[in-house]
Amino acid sequence: MSFTIYPAIDLRAGEVVRLRQGDPTQQKAYSSDPAQIAQNWQAQGAHWLHLVNLDGAFGENTEPNQRAIKNILAACGDKIFTQLGGGLRSLDDIRSALALGITRVILGTAILENSSFAEKAIGEFGADRIVFGLDARDGVLMTRGWQKASDRSLFEFASALKEIGATMIIYTNIATDGMGIGNDTQNTRQLAEQSGLDVIASGGIASLDDVRQVKEAGLSGVIIGRALYENHLSLKEALIC
């Protein structure tokens, strides 16, 4: 199985930001030029970008982020793949994102609030265009930009997704996200083994050792955010590693 590194570009009000544990009150801005950031990761060898429309996730005005996403796609051309999450809660939302040139979309809140939505999305667009974002706090899946607890457990829901034809998920332990304390690799590996899904690890990556641990755990990829923006590791080093 190939291993992919996904530099994260989290967007809020058109700027590149990072949040701590998904908390919108703990935000740090890194750039007002998302397209330039995307080109920088592309120049360093990235084949994929992980894009998050935080305003969409929080139910806020998404126009600045929509412009930023279009600018990223225009700047990078067709030489890079993109996955986009945040506020995609209908089949029309998915169609619009894919029509822009997004490679695949990330579904989270919508699949927890509507049990049939995941199956409909796979049926219409194919499993290769859909990745499911499972974000948990203490084993409970969270929705609405990690602000609301669902009544579904992580491992049970992942197995249900496998049964309807899903092939890939992104797992974030919210407690580690943006904290630079290392990834929850043990639970992420267990999730992959029990569900039979390809799992992308997300949250807490702080060093090259963290990247190595994720790869050696047999996972399909890793999303890196704050560690890249604060120069705790370079993307080139991570790709070589």
CA distance 29 to 18: 7
Mean pLDDT of 155-177: 88
Q: What is the pLDDT of residue 113?
A: 83
- Partners of 107 in the β-ladder: 132
Q: Rounded to an integer, what distance in angstroms lies between the CA atom of residue 238 and that of residue 4?
A: 10
Q: Active site residue: 10, 55, 198, 210, which one? A: 10
Strands 81-85 and 221-224: unpaired
The end-to-end CA distance of the chain, in Å, is 16
Residue 45 predicted with pLDDT over 60: yes
Catalytic residue of the set 135, 177, 184, 210: 135
Distance between alpha carbon 109 and the CA centroid of its chain, in Å? Answer: 13
Measured CA to CA, the distance from residue 230 to residue 6 in angstroms comes to 16
The H or E element containing residue 142 is strand 140-143
**Thinking of the domain 4-240, which architecture would CATH place it in?**
Alpha-Beta Barrel (3.20)
Give the model's confidence band at 1: pLDDT under 50 very low, under 70 low, under 90 confident, else very high: low
65: pLDDT strictly greater than 80? yes
Q: Does the annotation count 10 as an active-site position?
A: yes
178 pLDDT more than 60: no
Tell me, what's the pLDDT at 181?
52
Residue 89, amino acid: R
Please report, as a single letter, which amino acid is at residue 99: A
pLDDT tops 90 at residue 19: no
Give CA–CA dist 15/27, Å, rounded: 11
Based on the residue annotation, tell me whether 151 is a catalytic residue of this protein: no
Answer whether 200's CB lies under 8 Å from 170's CB. Answer: yes
